[in-house]
Amino acid sequence: MMEPQKVLRTPDQCFDDLPDFPFAPHYAALPDPEFGSLRMHYLDEGEAQRGTVLMLHGEPSWSFLYRKLIGPVADAGWRCIVPDHIGFGRSDKLAMRSAFTADRFVGWIRHLVEQLDLQDVVLVCQDWGGPIGLRLLSEMPERFIGVMATNTLLPNAEEPPRGVADWPGPIVTPWIAHCRASDDLAVSEVVAATCVSRPSPEVLSAYDAPFPDASFKAATLAITTLIPVDAKAPGMAENRQAWAMLEVVSHMVV
C-alpha cells in the first residue's frame, strides 16, 4: 500500500484562462525541516523606485485577490510582491492539517522576504495575512516602512480598545468548530459570502482553481483552527509581542 503523498502541487493547467490575471508566476524554494523544500509561488510586478509593497492574502483566497491592485500600484513606482501562502494558490499544498501552524505560516513568508532581500516594504494584509504579516513585521521592523491592514484581526485576548469585545464571539467560535469537523470546504462560496455583490462565475472559478479536490484543501480548514481564542492559546503570546512592536512603529500604520 502506497504512503499518502505529503506534498501536493496543483497542476499548472488549473490556472489557465484566469480573468484579469495576466501575471507571470515566480517561485521560491523554501527550506523546511520536515519536508526539505517547499515551493512558494509569488507575483513580482513593477520596479522598486519607491519601495516594495508586500501583499498578503487571507483564507481561503490566494494572490488572485489582489489582481486589480497590482497594476496601479506598480504603475505608481512600487515593486509588488504577492505570494501565495503554503497550502494556497500555486504554492505547494501539505496534505496533513497538523503540518500547519501559525509559526510555520510566518516562517514561510519570512524565508521569502529574506530570499528576495526585500527592503523599504509596505505591508498590505487582509484576513489571515494580518496576523502573519504583522507578526513578521514585529520580527524584522527594519525592513518595513508602512502598513495597511484591511479586514483583519490580531487577537490579543484583551478588552477594548486594544482587544475585541466578547472574543471569540458568536461568529468565530462556530466557524472554528465547522472547519475542525469538516473534510471539505466550498472555497468559492466562502469567498462569495464575504462580498458585497456576488462575483461572476469566472471569478468564483478562479478562487476554486488551486484546489482540484478536497485533498488539496488541508490548509483552508487547518488555518481557521489556528485562530487563538484565549490568553493561553498557541500563538497568543506572539500576537501580543507583535502588538507591542506595532505600538513602537505606529507611525507606519495607514
pLDDT digits (tens, 9 = 90+) for 24-68: 999 999 999 889 899 999 999 999 999 999 999 999 999 999 999
- Contacts of residue 20, Cβ cutoff 8 Å, sequence gap at least 6: 67, 68
Convert the pLDDT of each residue in 17-36 to its tens digit. Answer: 999 999 999 999 999 988 98
pLDDT for 3: 47
The three cell numbers of residue 141 are 521592523
- Contacts of residue 149, Cβ cutoff 8 Å, sequence gap at least 6: 123, 125, 126, 130, 133, 134, 253
Convert the pLDDT of each residue in 189-216 to its tens digit. Answer: 999 999 999 999 999 999 999 999 999 9
pLDDT for 160: 86
Distance of CA 246 to the CA centre of its chain: 19
Q: How far, CA to CA in Å, does 17 sit from each of 21, 65, 166?
A: 8, 16, 44
The three cell numbers of residue 212 are 482540484
Write down all domains in the chain, each with its CATH number in brackets: 7-252 (3.40.50.1820)
Convert the pLDDT of each residue in 169-181 to its tens digit. Answer: 888 999 999 999 9
Look-up: residue for cell 487577537?
155
User: C-alpha angle 127/130/132, rounded to 5°?
Assistant: 115
Residue of 220 and 157 predicted with greater confidence: 220
pLDDT confidence tier of residue 4, bands split at 50, 70 and 90: low
The yes-or-no verdict on residue 2 having pLDDT over 50 is no
Distance CA 92, CA 194 (A): 25
Residue of 7 and 171 predicted with greater confidence: 7
Among residues 245, 105, 224, 230, which one has the least CA distance to residue 163? 230
